[in-house]
Structure 1
Amino acid sequence: MASEIVRLVAVVAAGMMALAMAACSSSKDAEPDANIFPKDYKLELMNTLQRELEDPTNIRDGFISEPFLTTASREQRYAVCVRSNSRNINRTYTGAKDRIGYFYAGHLNQLIEATADQCAKVAYKPWPELQNICFSEKGCK
């Protein structure tokens, strides 16, 4: 009988130690701050445009806004508006298009065509780096 009590106490003590250790450990990583200012926003946007545009060479009329906080899916996120006139696969200019890039934790998360109201009130400024960059191995112009 005494040995059963000792065993029971040992099992209970081991269980309590396991619970105490589990309470001290955290299996979840800390969530990043969703609204860190996107300091490299121009570089990230250029890299994404290089991959996404049908013809990322000889872009005309490049404009960009400063990062601004906006509501995206009920959450506040930094966004940047980009306006440019790029070429399609036939090397024909398609006309100026507005795009909006959403940032999460300081990095570009999504770049999509902007609706009429998403970039309507932003102050665009010239973005000559976009117009002057050459992504082609053969050279531009």
Structure 2
Amino acid sequence: MAILMLPIALAACSSGGEERSFSLFDKKPDTPQSFPADYRAELLGFMKTYLNNPVGVRDAAMAEPVMRDVNGKMRYISCLRYSARESDGSYREPRERAVLFVNGRLDRMIEKSGDLCTGAALSPFPEMEKMTR
């Protein structure tokens, strides 16, 4: 009898009447963001693990972080463009990525930067071209 009651009890818990949803950015008031002071070093460390082969990157360029609206929250975004070496030694077309910072720290890389990088002032990023394994 107890076995039959378990699904009913669980069903009752899940239908509490309140509408709940999961959101990456909750509905709390936006908190002031601090500038990511070590953004270049953090990004280099991240790229060493992100790229299959961090050696031989070409045409690396980066924009200084600026505040942009990301899903209704103001966050620092930096834009990055680079051409990574493929396993056969060839190079793809340059890729553009948006790098999101939260509370002064690198949070994630957004592969489809879309409007986040529109108008970004990219400047050479030679440290990325000198990366080693």
Deviation at 1:73, TM superposition (A): 1.4
Matched position secondary structure for 2:87: coil
Deviation at 1:81, TM superposition (A): 0.4
CA distance in 1, matches of 2:114, 2:72: 19
Aligned positions of 1:3-82 closer than 5 A: 35-82=33-80
1:100 aligns with 2:66: no
Report the counterpart of residue 25 of structure 1 in structure 2: none
Check the 8 A contact 1:35/1:105 in 2, yes or no: yes
Letter in 2 for 1:120: T
Check the 8 A contact 1:34/1:104 in 2, yes or no: no
Size of the aligned set, in residue pairs, is 103
CA distance in 2, matches of 1:35, 1:115: 20
Report the counterpart of residue 30 of structure 1 in structure 2: none
Report the counterpart of residue 18 of structure 1 in structure 2: none
Q: Which has the larger radius of gyration?
A: 1
CA distance in 2, matches of 1:50, 1:73: 28
TM-score by length of 2: 0.71
* Structure 2 gaps, min length 5: 1-30
C-alpha distance after superposition, 1:3-37 (max 9, x if no partner): xxxxxxxxxxxxxxxxxxxxxxxxxxxxxx55110
CA RMSD of superposed structures (Å) = 1.5
Report the counterpart of residue 127 of structure 1 in structure 2: 125
TM-score by length of 1: 0.68
Q: Which has the larger share of strand?
A: 1
CA distance in 2, matches of 1:97, 1:106: 24
CA distance in 2, matches of 1:49, 1:91: 18
Report the counterpart of residue 90 of structure 1 in structure 2: 88
CA distance in 1, matches of 2:70, 2:124: 26
* Structure 1 gaps, min length 5: 1-32, 136-141
Letter in 1 for 2:131: I
Deviation at 1:91, TM superposition (A): 3.2
CA distance in 2, matches of 1:116, 1:102: 13
CA distance in 2, matches of 1:42, 1:82: 11
Check the 8 A contact 1:55/1:91 in 2, yes or no: no
Matched position secondary structure for 2:46: helix
Distance 1:52 1:34, change over 3 A: farther
C-alpha distance after superposition, 1:48-85 (max 9, x if no partner): 11111122110000100011000111100001001000
Identity rate of aligned residues, in percent? Answer: 29
